[in-house]
Chain A
Amino acid sequence: MKVSTFLSAIALLGMSLSVVAASVPDDQVATLRKAPLNVEPTPPIMQKVINSDVKQVRNYPMQPPVIPHKIDGYQIDLKVNKCMQCHARNSTGHSQAPMVSVTHFMDRDNNFLAELSPRRYFCTQCHAPQLDAKLQVENDFVDIDHLMKAKSTDKQ
């Protein structure tokens, strides 16, 4: 009896201490919310979608290319896939858009289907249009080509 009371008193003390310890200084909290919780900040200005129609370089061979045009209002659901109006095999003549590559016709066992594979149907799952915005966090990605070049100069 006495022991258990003693133990729970210690536990309570420990908990209240941990509450005190939990208050991390503001500058060490990673957050995009730059305002107190009880204040509704004015949202930042909306960024423009890049609509330059200039294809971007891919960072690694299997990267889904980013979309170089705007896709406002392009419907993708069970009824219709607007992207395929231009990117389907037989549309590239009039649209001059690159055809979706063969991987888009493969199922997960690498069999080629006659039509778009269901797992590649919802294009925006992998492909995204880009904003003309400044980076929120630094990107230190190094391209494989640079790694290989660095390695070969090391050897010499």
Chain B
Amino acid sequence: MLAKLFAKLKLIWRVVNRPSVHYSLGFLTLGGFVAGVIFWGGFNTVLEATNQEQFCIGCHEMENNVYQELQSTIHFTNRSGVRATCPDCHVPHNWTDKIARKMQASKEVWGKVFGTINTREKFEAKRRELAEHEWDRLKANDSLECRNCHNFDYMDFTRQSQRAAQMHSTSLASGEKTCIDCHKGIAHQLPDMAGVEGF
């Protein structure tokens, strides 16, 4: 058994080890490199394309529901002109997390393609479930996406409203709570909140 495997490996090694008859070593190395770049680049380009807001709101369920709602919030227009786009809040920056989230998102696209969420009513019916996925994710990563823009270390409590400073200097500072615990519904309308902690 082991001997057989060893023989096979030996054969493979011999094939790989044999100098190429048709192509030069230089061509092969360079070719391999270029192919790798094209593959990797292509993969990341697709990834990047799907990471743009235009892609997110490409399907009507997003454009007609959550995108409309976002437009009236502070994350769309504000005095400083800094905008948060869909991927800023919904796609992790870290690569492995990003892939994991994309796989999950594919399922949501599936729902679109097969027309399970094609009206406002159906979206509203699904919203609690979708929102809960986001809350769970942000809770688990300590609101990482919020913190990409809002850095706790640089928050100046003296410049915040009293209500904000009071909360941020206690529950948030101690790590007992994270942004999403208190700031649900910051970018979109909330679903029926019956039974959600704090409501």
Contact = CB atoms under 8 A, between A and B. Distances in A.
A80 B161 contact: no
B161 A69 contact: yes
B74 A72 contact: yes
B191 interface: yes
A75 interface: yes
Contact of B192 (A51, A53, A79, A91): A79
A79 B191 contact: yes
Contacts of B26: none
Interface residues of A, number: 18
Contact of A80 (B167, B186, B193): B193
Nearest to B162: A53
A75 B198 contact: no
A80 B185 contact: yes
Contacts of A51: 161
Contacts of B166: 96
A60 B187 CA distance: 38
A82 B162 contact: no
Contacts of A96: 166
A75 B196 CA distance: 15
Contacts of B73: 73
Contacts, number: 39
A82 B185 CA distance: 9
B190 A80 contact: yes
Contacts of B189: 75, 79
Contacts of A53: 161-163
B153 to A, nearest CB: 23
Nearest to A72: B74
Contacts of A106: none
Contacts of B161: 51, 53, 69-70
A99 interface: no
Q: Which among A78, A80, A82 has the highest number of chain B CB atoms within 10 Å?
A: A80
Contact of B185 (A72, A75, A84): A75
A59 interface: no
B132 to A, nearest CB: 14
A75 B73 CA distance: 12
Nearest to A84: B199
Nearest to A74: B185
A69 B161 CA distance: 9
Contacts of B171: 94
Contacts of B72: 73
A79 B196 CA distance: 12
Interface in A48-88: 51-53, 69-70, 72-73, 75, 78-80, 82, 84-85
Interface string B120-163: 00000000000000000000000000000000000000000111
Nearest to A69: B163
Contacts of A85: 198-199
B163 A80 contact: no
A148 to B, nearest CB: 35
A75 B162 CA distance: 21
Contacts of B193: 79-80
- Closest 5 A/B residue pairs (Cβ): A53-B162, A80-B193, A79-B192, A80-B190, A51-B161
